[in-house]
Structure 1
Amino acid sequence: MDELSAANGQPLAGKIDRATRHVSIDAKDPAFFQNPYPVFEAIRDLTPAFYWEEYQLWCFLNADDVNALFRDRRFGREILHVATREELGMPEPAPHLKPFYDVDSLSMLEREPPVHTRLRTLVNRAFVSRQIERLRPRIERLAHELIDRIEAEGRAELIEAYAAPIPVVVIAELLGVPAERAPDLLDWSHRMVGMYQFGRTRAMEDAAVSATLAFSDFLRSYVRERRGKPADDLISTLIAAEEAGEKLTEDELITTCILLLNAGHEATVHATGNGVKTILQTGLDPAVIFGSADATAATIEECLRYDPPLHFFARYALEDLDYGGIPFRKGDRVGLLIGAANRDPARFAMADRFDPSRAQIANLAFGGGIHFCIGAPLARLEMQISMPILFQRLPSLRLAEAPLYRDNYHFHGLEALRVAW
């Protein structure tokens, strides 16, 4: 294999066999996960798709391919609805992981129609734009309250102090669980997300299982409470749907709440942190890029494009097929590289430049197709409110130290964002 190198000849974290298009990249190498973009640009210069040896699947880099594959119904998030484990040579999950997969397997993110359609239709009522817009005053108030707590200090770790509390409190209140339990919700979520990390350990698996059990027990207690005393929240709405015979089991209800709590904050936290970091590093004037509602919306979209919080999304081939000249057998997995697609120069001029004034072309930060992020309107609203308020309230905001990304390639977010003003 040949070493990967940038256009200027600088060596990069990876090797490629040009003849077979097989690539070796250690996703836990800091040289890669701190900045994966140059690695993918070097690969893109040679091929639009490559076989990632460590993941054992074909991956697509270009925006057109990633967009098409999100929508291609020959691929899906689950496979056991069209094939057996024996047919695919897929082993049963390890017994110690059963509690996690008992929950995860019921998630709408992991299902295909008709189950996915049924679950998403029930939940979508709470996430249409007109419903989300009602949350604007609460988000504004929360943003100011959080800055009130830190303003006199002159410095803060912004992920913990600002980026994380807003989405977790908002989604908790939307569901109808106590916002003061946010530390527990965040802890359970982080441990569960560890199951999707490449190279996970048995300790990470055990932590995810214990978090799943604790999270489920916590939510069941609120479901029991809401059955006897409904409120104006999403748990009550889902219970009403279940009791009206809309085929939502209690286990599905619990899993849906866990998914919304996890997905409802994880992406927004990292999109906010990555966006603030980028704005501070580029030195753009917040008064300009947040100078109007249109400018703010464009700036947030550019943050999501330039350094998105989710970089990798996998799907199964649901039948034998050919895509892009690559043969897939039923059950083969394909990797969609969202971060790379959002830097595709064929779609975005000067794609490696952060430019909020660029012509708005849809990016892929929230996915596409039937699994397009149901919380995208809420995430956008939270960022459009919280980021301008941050820069307005703290006009001398600056980086106190160089920020580093976490060792987690899939979910691309900062370990910490230490700032001063």
Structure 2
Amino acid sequence: MTPAELPPSLHIDAARARVRLSPADPAFFQDPYPAYRAIRRSCPLFLWEDYGHLCAADAATVDALFRDRRFGREAPGRPPPPERVKPFHDLDALSMLEREPPAHTRLRRLVTRAFVFRAVERLRPRIERVVDALLDALPDRGTVDLLPAYAEPIPVVVIAELLGVPAADAPHLLDWSHRMVAMYRPGRTRADEDAAVAATLAFSAYLRDHLAERRARPREDLLTLLATAPEGEITPDEAVANAALLLNAGHEATVHAIGNAVAAVLGSGLDPAALFATPALTAATVEEALRFEPPLHLFTRTCLEPARVAGTAFRPGDRVGLLIGAANRDPARWAAPDGFDPARAPAPHLGFGGGIHFCLGAPLARLELEVALPRLFARRPGLRSADAPRFADRYHFRGLDALRVTLG
């Protein structure tokens, strides 16, 4: 690694285990991996000054923190948010992602039945039809951006149908989701906050209408499951919050995962026909793509009780960032981790997190990738990159801003 490869904003104080690194530095969000390598070698558990809390960059510590029940998402004593963003935080705080047991256990148990393998596998024919229709709509030749043409529609249509909202409402769902997840972006503006609050209110009203309709006329869908749960399993406000979570999380990360995977395959020089020759090879390629370019790079936890991890003492209320993107390239777990190699010896990656907050939608995301990728490359064997993939300025999400390809 040469200094020229490192982001200009990176400064590592190894002796004090402190790092300055702007998440908005284009050299970083376009390619964070040189910075991750330098940090991991110098101080794998460090204070990221730009965020103001500790972060872990090695696989062992990130894995341990995901599973350590002394760390969670709820933060006792956290100051209330400003009044102007209260509607967003009120909704967010009721989602299972932000809760700890027993509330987390109660909510997750209710929703899990819709995401078990057998339930998800029943969606395969529908996903195949969605994918084939999108491929049919691509032009025969020329250049196209595969994000809006392919990667974005698949997850939003699938998760909309799973929950039971019209797929025709996908543009609204995408718009609301994009505006809401901007709240997690570092350096967000007042305009971002106002847009997120407006999206939260609109999305909540939309979901309340659908949940009320399901209480009156139940169907075979996830909204009905939330709307008609026995008393004590979920409140009306929790139903809205968790429906919003499932819609947002069910497509936002999968869009990035599909786009990142296509870019990884095209950039690898490997033969797609060989990568997707069998279901087993397809599954291995999907797992390697999720390791190589995970759609989420930073997930925060809060210390709930005194703890000591990797030689560092934590007090209740201390926050710690789990750098999934750095952990997934740790040479202590994977040989030559910066190479895309679906044939490598399998080792569990951290792309879906871990512990009680392990991604509920992992089986569905895997299925969508296992359908979308081989069908794309089988139908378009001459597919190639039209220009270098361009990643969006929205760290800690890792997703492309555009994926321009030449069809052939």
1:307 to 276, 281, 293: 293
| Letter aligned with residue 179 of structure 1 | A
Over the aligned positions, Cα root-mean-square deviation in angstroms equals 1.0
Match of residue 61 from structure 2: 65
Q: Does 1:227 align with 2:223?
A: no
- Counterpart Cα distance in 1 of 2:240 and 2:90: 11
1:50 to 46, 49, 67: 46
The CA deviation at 1:47 is 2.0
Q: Does 1:41 align with 2:37?
A: yes
- Counterpart Cα distance in 1 of 2:406 and 2:5: 34
What CA deviation, in whole Å up to 9, does each residue of 1:194-238 have, x standing for no partner?
111111111100010000001011111111111111111111112
1:175 to 163, 176, 180: 163
Match of residue 337 from structure 1: 323
Q: Does 1:385 align with 2:371?
A: yes
- Counterpart Cα distance in 1 of 2:267 and 2:138: 22
SS at match of 1:45: helix
2:112 to 115, 124, 132: 124
Aligned residues: 405
- 1:47-196 to 2 correspondence within 5 Å? 47-80=43-76, 85=77, 90-152=78-140, 154-196=142-184
Match of residue 298 from structure 1: 284
| Letter aligned with residue 8 of structure 1 | T
Is the Cα contact below 8 Å between 2:23 and 2:29 reproduced in 1?
A: yes
1:416 to 394, 402, 406: 402
Match of residue 8 from structure 1: 2
Is the Cα contact below 8 Å between 2:110 and 2:233 reproduced in 1?
A: no
- Counterpart Cα distance in 1 of 2:16 and 2:59: 22
Match of residue 197 from structure 1: 185
> TM-score normalised to the size of structure 1?
0.95
Structure 2: give runs of 5+ residues left out of the alignment.
none
| Letter aligned with residue 205 of structure 1 | E
Match of residue 268 from structure 1: 254
| Letter aligned with residue 251 of structure 2 | H
The CA deviation at 1:240 is 2.1
| Letter aligned with residue 265 of structure 2 | I
The CA deviation at 1:91 is 2.9
Q: Does 1:347 align with 2:343?
A: no
1:371 to 346, 357, 377: 357
| Letter aligned with residue 156 of structure 2 | V
Structure 1: give runs of 5+ residues left out of the alignment.
1-6
- Counterpart Cα distance in 2 of 1:413 and 1:375: 18
The CA deviation at 1:9 is 4.1
Q: Does 1:319 align with 2:315?
A: no
The CA deviation at 1:11 is 5.1
- Counterpart Cα distance in 1 of 2:139 and 2:104: 44
- Counterpart Cα distance in 2 of 1:282 and 1:153: 23
> TM-score normalised to the size of structure 2?
0.98
- Counterpart Cα distance in 2 of 1:183 and 1:308: 25
SS at match of 1:58: strand
What CA deviation, in whole Å up to 9, does each residue of 1:82-141 have, x standing for no partner?
xxx3xxxx4321000111011001010000000000000000000000100000000011
1:287 to 262, 268, 273: 273
Q: 1:230 to 1:196 in 2, by over 3 A?
A: same
Match of residue 347 from structure 2: 361
What CA deviation, in whole Å up to 9, does each residue of 1:341-385 have, x standing for no partner?
000000001111100111111100000000000000000000000
Is the Cα contact below 8 Å between 2:5 and 2:34 reproduced in 1?
A: no
- Counterpart Cα distance in 1 of 2:341 and 2:350: 17
Identity among equivalent positions (%) equals: 59
| Letter aligned with residue 352 of structure 1 | D
The CA deviation at 1:153 is 5.0
| Letter aligned with residue 27 of structure 1 | P
Q: 1:58 to 1:136 in 2, by over 3 A?
A: same
- Counterpart Cα distance in 2 of 1:104 and 1:9: 41
